[in-house]
Chains A and B, each alone.
Chain A
Amino acid sequence: MSEKNTPATDPAPARPRTLIGDRRDHLLSRIEGETGANISACYQCERCTNACPVSFYMDVKPHQVIRHVQLGWRERLLGSATIWVCLSCEMCSTYCPNEVAVASVINHLRNMAFHSSIAPKERLLAVFHQTFLEELHRYGRVNELWLMNAFNRKPGVLREKIKSGALKHELLLGLALWRKGKLQLVPRRSKAIEEIKAVYRRQRGEVD
């Protein structure tokens, strides 16, 4: 890196090497800075992937996520199914021998993907999260029935559900829940949400 490291026998001074993260604009340093996870410490032992209950359904396995971040492969990560399939069950972070906060990294990537222009690979999961937040902002609390109703009215959701046969299953489940009297028809509200939203706007730097 510096001239000190060049062997004395070398006549011409070597061109200074640029290490990953040296300029502090690499994906690695950005995510390390924002999450506080020591991603550089990963030595690819794959313990995270072995602990993960859903790694089977992931296209980029948890240990590969860490490697991808080290290599700066942003697009591949944000366009992966992994970031949406992850359950945030924190098995990976808990069992990492180097205390790499894998789940926080995946969660942060999900945050990044949501604010990016890259289309989510698991569209339904992404739309569901978004609908949840919209409902939450409307009522302050979340009601299962109204949430599902709002979710089904999102563009393309019903079509996709009919195609996969999920709609039939869901209607049967809904009926069973209705018969048991488990569904709450009228959503409960919390007035506090207006106050929280105002705080939130200020944090974002928006002027009321």
Chain B
Amino acid sequence: MKLSFYPGCSLEGMARDYSRSVVAVFQHLGIELVEIDDWSCCGATAAHSLDEMMAVTLPARNLAMADKLGLDMVTSCANCFNRLRFSQQKLREKTYDVPWKISDELQVHDMTRFAAEPAMIKRIKQRMVRPLSGLKLVCYYGCQMVRPPKITGYADYENPQTLDRIADAVGAEVLDWSYKSTCCGASIGIGRKEIQDSLTLRLLAKARQTGAEAIVVSCPLCQANLDMIQRGGGRDVLPVFYFTELLTLAFGDDKNARHWFKLRFADPLPLLLARGVMK
């Protein structure tokens, strides 16, 4: 099985560990990811804020390149996913015109929904060597991946389940909470720090109240945001995992995971050692 892969700028910058874990997980699952040739930034969130035409044109070329490969497209960044789908919809409505050919059959998946398909869950369970039992997690989806439902195609946008299904498949204890898709405020951090802090700290507080020991995310901005605010947090921190890291741990790839965790402010190692997931 082959898919075209759009990483996005974050996965080349501060979320390099995410991109590595994505590649590792898909290798384990036996799915080949073909990176889109010479992809460009999707423009989130500046392009749509200032110029909608730009917000349609920027992702359109990436869509066209994916279409040329003739493969379904998968992206791991929630913002990119949202912008690509938005552009696809506007082009379908013929609001704007672009010179590239994009067929209607091209499917844009976000990686979590792809990995939460029943067939993929089965594959994950087959490949799992070590269940992550004893880990109490909450799943955090953020805003861009699920909303607006007309663009993202999420039917359960009030209580999304994709990450929950994945975390459940690898044996973790998934807790229910009400802040699954509340915005973390990452886009406003530069300029109005206090707004971002108030939103992010509330998320962390609610996750703690729920009884979670860690948060699972799929958006690189949410991860950076939730993780960076906890620097200097000492032992009382809530580690923020990418869902791909959970899968890597379940597949028993400790060496890689240890390497990625070095980039964290909220260090997950003490928790994983205490729960006996890692040794």
Contacts and interface: CB of A to CB of B under 8 A. Distances in A.
Contact of B41 (A130, A141, A169): A141
B38 A191 contact: yes
B224 to A, nearest CB: 8
A110 B50 contact: yes
Majority SS at the chain B contact face:
loop
B41 A54 contact: no
B41 A140 contact: yes
Given A93-B148, A130-B50, A200-B57, A54 B190 contact: no
A94 B148 contact: yes
B228 A173 contact: yes
Interface band, chain B: 35 or more
Contact of A87 (B58, B188, B193): B188
A93 B57 CA distance: 24
Given A53-B183, A91-B183, A151 B190 contact: yes
Contacts of B41: 136, 140-142, 190
Interface string B165-207: 0000000000000000011010110111101000100000000
Contact of B46 (A91, A133, A190): A133
Interface stretch (B9-17, B26-34, B249-257): B9-17
A190 B38 contact: yes
Majority SS at the chain A contact face:
helix
Contact of B183 (A89, A132, A143, A204): A89
A90 B86 CA distance: 13
A198 to B, nearest CB: 9
Interface in A114-136: 114, 122, 124-125, 128-130, 132-133, 136
Nearest to B95: A36
Nearest to A54: B195
A196 to B, nearest CB: 6
Contacts of A24: none
B13 A184 contact: yes
Interface residues of A, number: 56
A108 B143 contact: no
Interface in A145-204: 145, 148, 151, 166, 169, 173, 176-177, 180-184, 188, 190-193, 195-196, 199-200, 203-204
B133 interface: no
B143 A124 contact: no
B114 interface: no
Interface in B12-48: 12-14, 16, 38-41, 43, 45-48
Interface of A: 53-54, 57, 85, 87-91, 93-94, 101, 103, 107-108, 110-111, 114, 122, 124-125, 128-130, 132-133, 136, 140-145, 148, 151, 166, 169, 173, 176-177, 180-184, 188, 190-193, 195-196, 199-200, 203-204
28 contacts: A54-B195, A57-B192, A89-B183, A91-B147, A91-B183, A93-B147, A101-B148, A103-B148, A111-B49, A122-B192, A124-B190, A129-B45, A129-B46, A130-B50, A133-B46, A140-B41, A173-B228, A173-B231, A176-B228, A176-B231, A180-B263, A190-B40, A190-B41, A192-B39, A192-B40, A193-B40, A196-B61, A204-B53
Given A128-B191, A166-B193, A177-B228, 19 more contacts: A53-B182, A53-B183, A54-B195, A57-B192, A87-B185, A88-B143, A125-B191, A128-B46, A133-B50, A136-B41, A140-B40, A142-B13, A151-B190, A176-B231, A182-B263, A188-B9, A192-B40, A196-B61, A199-B57
The 8 closest A-B pairs by CB, nearest first: A89-B183, A132-B46, A89-B143, A90-B147, A124-B191, A125-B191, A190-B40, A129-B46
